[in-house]
Structure 1
Amino acid sequence: MLFLTSRLDHTDEEVFKIKQLRQLVEKCDELCVGTDDTMLTKFLHYTRWDTIKAYQAIHAYYEFKRRHPTWLARHSIEHYRPLFYGTHCRFVMPHVDRDGRVLVIFKTVDGFQRFPDYLQSLVEMDDLIFESLLLLPRVQEKGITVICDLQGTTRNFLRQFSPAFMKVVNEKNGVLPFSQRIVHIIQRGFLMHVTSTLFMPFMNKEFKERIFTHDGRHLSKLREMVGYESLPAEYGGPASNVLDTDLIFNHLLQNADYLEKLQKYEKL
């Protein structure tokens, strides 16, 4: 099952490192965060089970949250329902990619007229999605593949992408505890090219190496890298692979209590 959140067992060494990390976090007066296995293992996978680096990664993540509190979700899951169903711009596919990573689709859809604070809402929505995916052992172990479809980019978006905004995007990319993220950017036309050109200078070298661009008219490379069976129909996958907002939003609802609890975690 794609959204299976339980893991049957850990090795003896992994159990030891979970306990070790839990002790470090519980003894730290600065961190007001949970110490359940799911919380700890996402940082341990991220650091290849190096306990000290995982502890440092937790500090880095919540230091980012302390300095940029508006860059994380701040409301109940239901608060975001109109955004999900009013834009249909965020999806997860029911089948993993050819390397076993969960496949996420981000589309640029101009919702600025309907949602006055649209860019802020997108930032919070993406935070929810990432946190919800990090609940999954499959994602903790293998990471995710993201397809960013920029073909709906308008000038309304371009006005928002200031250097200051892009620097924070890059900073958050640096603290998100994904063991691996592969990003495929689909672009076509001048505006889409400008968008990706704006993004790239602010990405760190390691992250840039995992970003691949595709012309929206020629997606054979995308099919080869992601896998035909996993792709949405509109990107050359099977006709049965339709983009369905229900799939990701129902996952958020099923984990609403935990996700809303995460919003209260902080570094003092």
Structure 2
Amino acid sequence: MLFLRTQEKHTDQELFKIKQLRQLVEKSNELQVGTDEIFLTKFLCYTNWDTFKAFQAIHAYYDFKLKHPTWVALHPIEFYARLFYATQCRFVMPHTDKNGRVLVIFKTVDAFQQFPDYLQHLIEMDDLIFESLLMLPRVQQNGITVICDLQGTTRNFLRQFSPTFMKIVNEKNSVLPFSQRIVHIIQRGFLMHVTSSLFLPFMNKDFKERIFTHDGRHLNKLRDMIGMDCLPAEYGGPAVNVLDTNLIVNHLSQNSDYLENLQHYKKLKDN
């Protein structure tokens, strides 16, 4: 099952690392976060089970949240469920890619007229998706693959992509604790090329090396890199692979208590 949360049995060394990180977090006067295993192991997997780097990664993530408090999910899951169904722009596929990474589809769908705060909604929806996937042991271990389909880009989107906005995107990318994140950008036409040309210069070198662009008319490279069996039908996958909003909404709803609790985790300001 894609959303299976059962943790594989840890080695004695891994259990020691979890205990060690828990003690560091509990002793911190600044961090007001949980110390449950799923929370701790997402940072340990991210840092290849280096306890002190994991502790630093927790600080870095909550430094970002302290600096940019509106760049994380802020509302109950029911609030976001309405947005997912209304916009049809964020999906998770039922099967992993050929490398065992969960496959996420982000589509640019112009809903600015329906939702005046649409860009803010997207920021929060993406944060919620990432936090929900990082609960999964397979994601902690293998990471995710993201397909960003820019073919619905309009001038309404381009107006939002200021240098300040893109710098914050890059900041958040640098602290998200994914052990691996591969991004495929599908673009076609002038506006899509403008979008990626605005986006890429702000990405750090390491992340930029994991970004691949594809012309929307020629997706053979995308199919080879991800694997045909998991791709949506519209990108050349099996006809049964339809984009279904219910998959991600059901996952969020089933874990709503935990996800909403994460929204209260924070780092205290320095005195």
TM-score where L is the length of structure 2:
0.98
Deviations 1:24-52 (A, max 9, x none): 00000100000000000000000000000
Aligned partner of residue 20 in structure 2, secondary structure? helix
The reply to whether residue 204 of structure 1 matches residue 204 of structure 2 is: yes
Task: List gaps (5 residues or longer) in structure 2.
Answer: none
Which residue number corresponds to residue 230 of structure 2?
Answer: 230
Between 1:4-13 and 1:50-59, the stretch displaced more is 4-13
Which residue number corresponds to residue 73 of structure 2?
Answer: 73
AA aligned opposite 2:146: V
The reply to whether residue 40 of structure 1 matches residue 37 of structure 2 is: no
Aligned partner of residue 257 in structure 1, secondary structure? helix
Which residue number corresponds to residue 50 of structure 1?
Answer: 50
Which residue number corresponds to residue 260 of structure 1?
Answer: 260
User: 1:229 Cα shift?
Assistant: 0.2
The reply to whether residue 215 of structure 1 matches residue 185 of structure 2 is: no
User: 1:81 Cα shift?
Assistant: 1.9
Q: Tell me the distance in 2 between the aligned counterparts of 1:74 and 1:66.
A: 13
The reply to whether residue 130 of structure 1 matches residue 130 of structure 2 is: yes
Q: Tell me the distance in 2 between the aligned counterparts of 1:11 and 1:23.
A: 19
Q: Tell me the distance in 2 between the aligned counterparts of 1:54 and 1:4.
A: 24
Task: List gaps (5 residues or longer) in structure 1.
Answer: none
Which residue number corresponds to residue 113 of structure 2?
Answer: 113
Q: Tell me the distance in 2 between the aligned counterparts of 1:65 and 1:111.
A: 26
Segments of 4+ in structure 1 off by > 2 A? none
Q: Tell me the distance in 2 between the aligned counterparts of 1:48 and 1:115.
A: 41
Aligned partner of residue 183 in structure 1, secondary structure? strand
Q: Tell me the distance in 1 between the aligned counterparts of 2:239 and 2:8.
A: 35
Q: Tell me the distance in 2 between the aligned counterparts of 1:233 and 1:181.
A: 22
Q: Tell me the distance in 2 between the aligned counterparts of 1:65 and 1:81.
A: 23
Q: Tell me the distance in 2 between the aligned counterparts of 1:191 and 1:26.
A: 49
Aligned partner of residue 70 in structure 2, secondary structure? helix
Q: Tell me the distance in 2 between the aligned counterparts of 1:158 and 1:82.
A: 25
User: 1:80 Cα shift?
Assistant: 1.1
Which residue number corresponds to residue 159 of structure 2?
Answer: 159
CA RMSD of aligned residues (A): 0.4
Aligned partner of residue 179 in structure 2, secondary structure? coil
Which residue number corresponds to residue 103 of structure 1?
Answer: 103
User: 1:82 Cα shift?
Assistant: 2.0
TM-score where L is the length of structure 1:
1.00
Aligned partner of residue 71 in structure 1, secondary structure? coil
Following superposition of structure 1 onto structure 2, how do residues 136-147 of structure 1 map, counting pairs within 5 Å? 136-147=136-147
Deviations 1:147-204 (A, max 9, x none): 0000000000000000000000000000000000000000000000000000000000
User: 1:16 Cα shift?
Assistant: 0.1
AA aligned opposite 2:34: G
Which residue number corresponds to residue 88 of structure 2?
Answer: 88
User: 1:6 Cα shift?
Assistant: 1.6
Aligned partner of residue 13 in structure 1, secondary structure? helix
User: 1:240 Cα shift?
Assistant: 0.4
| Identity percentage of aligned residues | 78
User: 1:9 Cα shift?
Assistant: 1.1
